[in-house]
Each structure stands twice: as structure tokens, then as C-alpha cells.
């Protein structure tokens, strides 16, 4: 390591040591639930969430190996790293994400007396109140950060009157009052969040309910049909089975002899395509029927969005 680099590193460490201990962080469990709900958003339209998470969620979640994700670490603001990229990439928080749990503490881990840190939330603003209410905290908007580890929640409540994407802003200042230089940290970020009206949410829940139900129904039917087919084969007499086998061999022989091979495989492809088309039609009909039932009796089909 070169001299100047080592020196700057030492200076940095010294700065960390005397800046007082303030730690603010997210825990992995909370981030995991936020990310898995984000995976329900279709990138094209955040107001039309999917019924099932899109692929990639597992991979992403596997990469969250730390237990804590710092926003402020040892008195240094780190949130810019991810919050800035979050706002810049235009990521929209899912409708179902309506609170964040934030942990904080000022007690140092090496036994030094805790620094007194005053916090002040100056701006907690929704830029479209017909869609999203102003964000709310479960702690007073000003006070001192507790010495021991504790947590609070930031609640994001949609009005449920109108569907839309609303911007909101968070502006917080931390002041290290024990320090002669009165150091402070400022955090100001803008985020976006999708909100669904109650009617749109119900529609989504019913859509997802019907998709799931029809999938199960069709699978069950297919299983029953396959079972019957097998039974029929088992019940047939041995001589019949022998002749069946002969017929099969003959058919296979036809295929092997070429010439007709192309036609056969084309026919098979066609049959497969027809089967798929039939299945799609059946699924659509089932869903239409199911939704009609849901409209008549909405409470029957209410379900968690992410279910």
C-alpha cells in the first residue's frame, strides 16, 4: 500500500472514531419482504401487478447475505449508495409495500458512552395526496435517537380512492449535539410508490384468485382423465393388449420406414398445438366463469394480492 493511501485511510478511520456512534439500518428480513413484493410489479405498468412473482427473486434474495443494511454506519451516511440509485432508476414501490421498519442506536459497541444525537424529520411529503397520504412515523418527528437498539416504522398509506403512482419525499437531519463542531447529517430523498384504488385492488385479487383456481381445476381434471385411461388399459384382456402392442409396433414401423415420417411429426406438432389451444380456451372460459361468480359474491374471492 502506498504512503498517501495508507495515510488517508488512517485519517478516515480517525474520522469514524471521533464522529460519534450513530447507526441506522434496515434488517434483512424487511428488505426480503420488500424485494419479493417488488417482484410482483410488471416493469411496464406498476399499476398492473402480477399474480405471481417474476423470476429472479430467489437469485436476488440469495445475494442478501448480511443481516444489516446500513443507512448510517458509525456516524457516516451511506444511504446515498442505494437510495440514489433507487430514485434514479425510477423504481416504483409496489402497492402492497406500506411500511418500512428502520432500526437505530447510538450506543457504541466498544463501551464508549453514547453520543447524543438529535433527529428531525422535516419533510414527510406525498406529492399527490389524492393517491398517497403523507408518510407517517411511529415516533415523534423530532427527538433523540435512543442509545439502545430500537426500531420505528415509516408508514405509507394509499388513499385507495384513486389508482396512481405518487412521489413522496423524506427529509431528515441528525445533529450530533455533544460535538463542539455541531456536526449534522442530512438525508433527503424522493421515492415513488404505486397505489391501487379499492376497486382496482379487488379486481386484481379476483383475477389472481381465478387464475389459481382454474389452474388447479384443470390440473385435477387432467389427472382424473389420465387415471381413467390407465385403468382402462389395465382392465383390457391380455389378448387385446397383445393386439394393441402389435398395432403400436406397426405404427412405429411406419414412422421408421421414412417417407411418412415428416408427415407424422407434422401431424404430431399440429395435434400438440391443438391441445394447447384447447387448454387455453378452457382456461379462459373457466376464468370468465369464475370472475362472474366473484362479481356476484366478491367476498368469496378476496385474497391477498401476493398470494
Ligand X SMILES: *[C@@H]1O[C@H](CO)[C@@H](O)[C@H](O)[C@H]1NC(C)=O
Write down the least CB distance from residue 100 to ligand X, Å.
Answer: 22
Question: Is residue 214 a contact point for ligand X (CB under 6 A)?
Answer: no
Chain positions 6 to 25 lying near ligand X, rule: CB under 6 A, are none
Q: Which stretch binds ligand X (CB under 6 A): 25-33, 127-135, 260-268, 288-296?
A: 127-135
Write down the least CB distance from residue 157 to ligand X, Å.
Answer: 15
Residue labelled with grid coordinates 398492473: 48
C-alpha torsion 41→45→48→51, nearest 10:
-30
Q: Which of 162, 202, 218, 306 binds ligand X (CB under 6 A)?
A: 162
The b-or-e profile of 145-171 (16+ CB within 10 A means b, else e) is bbbeeebeebebebbeebbbbbbbbbe
C-alpha torsion 136→164→47→82, nearest 10:
-50
Q: 60 or 198: whose CB is closer to ligand X?
A: 198
Q: What DSSP designation does 183 have?
A: -
Can you tell me the distance from the alpha carbon of 185 to that of 255, in angstroms, rounded to the nearest whole number? 77
Question: Is residue 45 a contact point for ligand X (CB under 6 A)?
Answer: no
Q: 159 or 184: whose CB is closer to ligand X?
A: 159
Write down the least CB distance from residue 187 to ligand X, Å.
Answer: 25
Write down the least CB distance from residue 127 to ligand X, Å.
Answer: 7
Question: Is residue 131 a contact point for ligand X (CB under 6 A)?
Answer: yes
Q: 79 or 197: whose CB is closer to ligand X?
A: 197
Residue 36's nearest CA partner among 11, 64, 14, 12 is 64
Cβ contact 96:40 at 8 Å: yes
Strands 68-73 and 23-27 come out as antiparallel
Question: Is residue 164 a contact point for ligand X (CB under 6 A)?
Answer: yes
- State which residue has the least CB distance to ligand X: 164
Q: 131 or 187: whose CB is closer to ligand X?
A: 131
Residue labelled with grid coordinates 389395465: 234
Can you tell me the distance from the alpha carbon of 244 to that of 252, in angstroms, rounded to the nearest whole number? 12
Write down the least CB distance from residue 38 to ligand X, Å.
Answer: 20
Chain positions 217 to 256 lying near ligand X, rule: CB under 6 A, are none
Cell numbers for 206, please give them. Answer: 379476483
Q: Which stretch binds ligand X (CB under 6 A): 74-82, 124-132, 137-145, 292-300?
A: 124-132
Cβ contact 183:213 at 8 Å: no
Work out the number of other CB atoms within 10 angstroms of the CB of residue 188: 13
Question: Is residue 128 a contact point for ligand X (CB under 6 A)?
Answer: yes
Question: Is residue 130 a contact point for ligand X (CB under 6 A)?
Answer: yes
| Binding-site ranges for ligand X (CB under 6 A) | 128, 130-131, 162, 164
Amino acid at each position: 500500500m502506498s504512503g498517501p493511501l495508507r495515510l488517508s485511510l488512517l485519517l478516515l478511520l480517525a474520522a469514524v472514531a471521533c464522529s460519534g456512534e450513530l447507526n441506522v439500518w434496515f434488517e434483512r428480513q424487511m428488505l426480503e419482504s420488500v424485494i419479493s413484493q417488488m417482484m410482483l410489479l410488471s416493469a411496464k405498468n406498476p399499476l398492473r401487478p402480477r399474480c405471481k412473482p417474476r423470476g429472479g427473486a430467489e437469485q436476488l434474495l440469495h445475494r442478501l447475505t448480511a443481516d444489516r443494511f446500513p443507512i448510517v454506519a458509525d456516524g457516516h451516511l451511506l444511504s446515498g449508495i442505494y437510495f440514489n440509485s433507487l430514485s434514479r432508476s425510477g423504481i416504483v414501490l409496489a402497492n402492497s409495500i406500506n411500511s418500512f421498519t428502520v432500526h437505530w442506536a447510538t450506543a457504541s459497541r466498544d463501551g464508549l458512552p453514547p453520543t447524543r444525537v438529535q433527529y428531525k424529520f422535516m419533510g414527510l411529503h406525498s406529492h399527490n395526496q389524492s393517491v398517497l397520504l403523507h408518510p407517517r412515523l411511529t415516533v415523534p418527528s423530532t427527538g433523540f435517537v435512543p442509545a439502545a437498539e430500537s426500531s420505528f416504522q415509516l408508514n405509507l398509506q394509499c388513499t385507495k380512492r384513486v389508482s396512481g403512482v405518487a412521489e413522496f419525499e423524506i427529509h431528515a437531519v441528525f445533529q450530533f449535539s455533544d460535538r463542539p463542531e455541531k456536526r449534522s447529517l442530512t438525508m433527503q430523498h424522493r421515492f415513488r410508490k404505486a397505489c391501487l384504488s379499492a376497486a382496482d385492488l379487488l379486481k386484481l385479487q379476483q383475477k389472481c384468485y381465478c387464475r389459481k383456481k382454474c389452474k388447479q381445476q384443470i390440473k385435477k381434471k387432467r389427472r382424473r382423465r389420465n387415471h381413467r385411461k390407465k385403468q382402462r388399459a389395465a382392465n383390457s384382456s391380455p389378448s387385446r393388449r397383445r393386439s394393441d402392442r402389435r398395432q403400436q409396433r406397426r405404427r412405429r414401423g411406419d414412422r421408421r420406414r421414412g417417407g411418412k415420417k415428416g408427415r407424422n411429426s407434422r401431424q404430431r406438432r399440429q395435434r400438440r398445438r391443438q391441445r394447447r389451444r384447447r387448454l387455453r380456451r378452457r382456461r379462459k372460459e373457466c376464468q370468465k366463469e369464475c370472475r362472474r361468480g366473484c362479481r356476484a359474491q366478491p367476498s368469496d374471492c378476496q385474497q391477498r394480492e401476493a398470494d
